[in-house]
Structure 1
Amino acid sequence: MFSDDQPFILPLMCASGKCIILECVYDVFWKYAILYIFLGTLQCILVPVAGAMAFDVEYARWLEEQNRQINELRAAVNSHAGDTELRIIIDGIMAHYDEIFRLKSNAAKADVFHLLSGMWKTPAERCFLWLGGFRSSELLKLLVNQLEPLTEQQLVGITNLQQSSQQAEDALSQGMEALQQSLAETLSSGSLGSSGTSGNVANYMGQMAMAMGKLGTLEGFIRQADNLRQQTLQQMHRILTTRQSARALLAIHDYFSRLRALSSLWLARPRE
């Protein structure tokens, strides 16, 4: 019997006489670690799903409003409205673009992978997706031929804008490649042994914490890419005349609208 003033020692002895209390502690530690990981994973699933669904709803509303604004702009252009009227409509469309970048910034905080994967876009749009959106440099290439005639100064401005956009895109792409390589090295730097000792669990948790920290930089890449897209649209608007800006906005909308239509046709195609 153990007296009240003596510490209680659990009499767990293996056949060889070695105390297995430490092994029991390891088992308990491992079970709690698994529970911690499970609960954390569950939270990581439920929170992003709610954020992604909310963003999809907001994006659908944004797209509906953009269609209305573009129809208004197209009608104004076709009726040969004055520059003042066109400018008011164009300013509204530019402000609406600012809104989608704000929505995406908030969505990235909830689920950056949803934006990167492009699941909020149609399949055809996803083929051309770069860091959660369009490539500014490619869009400028498509617009140049549709904006002619351009003055020499405008052509130089558009060319410089296209080149600077390309350089910024290359830098971000290289940053993403470096992140992917670093993340792969972190995840492959060690493995959880089958014994489930506390040392292995601690290493695993440390490994996951380091990987999570690196994944946190993805939001920064999305934000920088969207800032580039936003600045490109704004600078293009400053380079062009009011009527050229109207034509550019119509061309941009029509391009993405056709991509969405192409997706619908592709999904509805006959299958043998």
Structure 2
Amino acid sequence: MAYASPGTDDTSTDLDTDEKNHMLELGQLVSLTASDSGNKAKDKLLGQKALRRLAQNREAARKSRLRKKAYVEQLENSRLKLSQLEQELQRARQQGIFIPTPGDDQQPNSTSEKAGALAFDKDYAGWEDEHRKQISELRAALSAHAGDDELRRIVDGVMAHHHEAFRLKCVAARADAFHVLSGMWKTPVERCFMWLGGFRPSEILKFLASHLDPLTERQLASVHGLQQSSQQAEEGISQRVQALQQSVAETLASSGSPCLPVPAGRAPPPGDDAAPDCSGTMAAAVAKLVALESLVHEADGLRRQTLEQMQRVLTTRQSARALLVISDYLSRLRALSSLWIARPRE
């Protein structure tokens, strides 16, 4: 009874083997599926990291390009400023203007004129800083529609500050009129449009009327008359300057022989015993050049008079706008000088 046939045992063994094989295949399939899912997740994670690194590299490259561009622009601006400074120094030396160098204070020809010119440049730079603050205050008051009393206070302050500039130039012209005439404290374009150390009153009045509309007929007539009288006064002063230049040129040419004057305090060079003495000729020329100081004062007096008469013709609000127009015009001249210096060159 315990006997089992061999056929029955073989069938059971085959079933067990098939089941094991099926389970093994199922396990391999699950393993492959899990492995494939893991690889996809891993690939996805690696892809995200690569994208982040790529984005970081791009941002770093962009910042590097910006830094390089800013550095190159800074170098170019420094080069332009240095070139401008060298040109101005060269022009100043050609015009005989004092350029301080080490040891100049020990030279016997170091005079008060040099100190006066340097002091004026420093004082005028401070004047311009204060002027910009006052113009900003005036512009803000006009934008805020401030009352006439407030505007009058600011306008009077700006006018008083202009008078301070005339005072500084008067002191500088007394020390060295040529320094004021050269306009070396101004930009190159400003110097090109200068007239005897400042602006031409007639030119300012010419475009001022068009920026102050509406003006009454009486105001237009007054501004036009003021422009005509200013232009006549300018022509008179300019003619006197030309006459002075002609007189000095004739004095220098009257010697008729080489003139090698020896600076004061220095011994004549060896072998120059026969050189002609030009002290009389040069003294006469210097005496005539003294008149330049009064001409500079007269030109500034005309500028001061024009501003004061303009203020009497216009209302308080119109005077405020006129001062802004003048300031903006002079600022554009400075900006034009910067653009000229930075212009592309082939």
State the TM bucket, normalised to the shorter chain.
0.7 to 0.9
Q: Measured at CA, do residues 213 and 166 of structure 1 come closer, stay the same or move farther in structure 2, by a change above 3 Å?
A: same
- Quick check: 1:219 aligned with 2:293? yes
- Quick check: 1:254 aligned with 2:332? no
DSSP 3-state at the match of 2:155: helix
Q: Residue 269 of structure 1: CA displacement?
A: 2.6
Matched letter for residue 185 of structure 1? E
Uncovered stretches (5+) of structure 2, i.e. residues with no partner: 1-106, 261-271
Q: Measured at CA, do residues 45 and 176 of structure 1 come closer, stay the same or move farther in structure 2, by a change above 3 Å?
A: farther
| Partner of residue 109, structure 1 | 174
1:23-42 counterparts in 2 under 5 A?
none
Measured in 2, the distance between the counterparts of 1:176 and 1:232 equals: 21
Q: Residue 185 of structure 1: CA displacement?
A: 0.4
DSSP 3-state at the match of 2:146: coil
Give the alignment partner of residue 208 of structure 1, picking from 266, 282, 306: 282
- Quick check: 1:119 aligned with 2:184? yes
Q: Residue 270 of structure 1: CA displacement?
A: 3.0
| Partner of residue 87, structure 1 | 152
1:100-150 CA-to-partner distances (Å, cap 9, x unmatched) read 000000000111111111111111111111111100000100101001111
Q: Higher relative contact order at CA 8 Å, sep ≥6: structure 1 or structure 2?
A: 1
| Partner of residue 146, structure 1 | 211
Matched letter for residue 232 of structure 1? T
TM-score, normalization by structure 2: 0.63
Measured in 2, the distance between the counterparts of 1:73 and 1:245 equals: 11
1:13-92 counterparts in 2 under 5 A?
46-92=111-157
Q: Measured at CA, do residues 176 and 154 of structure 1 come closer, stay the same or move farther in structure 2, by a change above 3 Å?
A: same
Give the alignment partner of residue 242 of structure 2, picking from 164, 177, 201: 177
DSSP 3-state at the match of 2:176: helix
- The number of residues matched between the two structures is 228
Measured in 2, the distance between the counterparts of 1:148 and 1:100 equals: 29
DSSP 3-state at the match of 2:185: coil
- Quick check: 1:187 aligned with 2:248? no
The answer to which of 83-92 and 44-53 deviates more is: 44-53
DSSP 3-state at the match of 1:145: helix
Measured in 1, the distance between the counterparts of 2:305 and 2:259 equals: 50
Measured in 2, the distance between the counterparts of 1:179 and 1:135 equals: 20
| Partner of residue 200, structure 2 | 135
Uncovered stretches (5+) of structure 1, i.e. residues with no partner: 1-41
Percent identity for Structure 1 against Structure 2: 61
Greater C-alpha Rg: 2
| Partner of residue 36, structure 1 | none
| Partner of residue 22, structure 1 | none
Matched letter for residue 235 of structure 1? Q
- Quick check: 1:229 aligned with 2:294? no
Q: Measured at CA, do residues 141 and 193 of structure 1 come closer, stay the same or move farther in structure 2, by a change above 3 Å?
A: closer
TM-align CA RMSD: 1.7
Measured in 2, the distance between the counterparts of 1:95 and 1:241 equals: 18
Measured in 2, the distance between the counterparts of 1:154 and 1:104 equals: 31
| Partner of residue 31, structure 2 | none
Matched letter for residue 213 of structure 1? A
Measured in 2, the distance between the counterparts of 1:174 and 1:65 equals: 35
TM-score, normalization by structure 1: 0.80
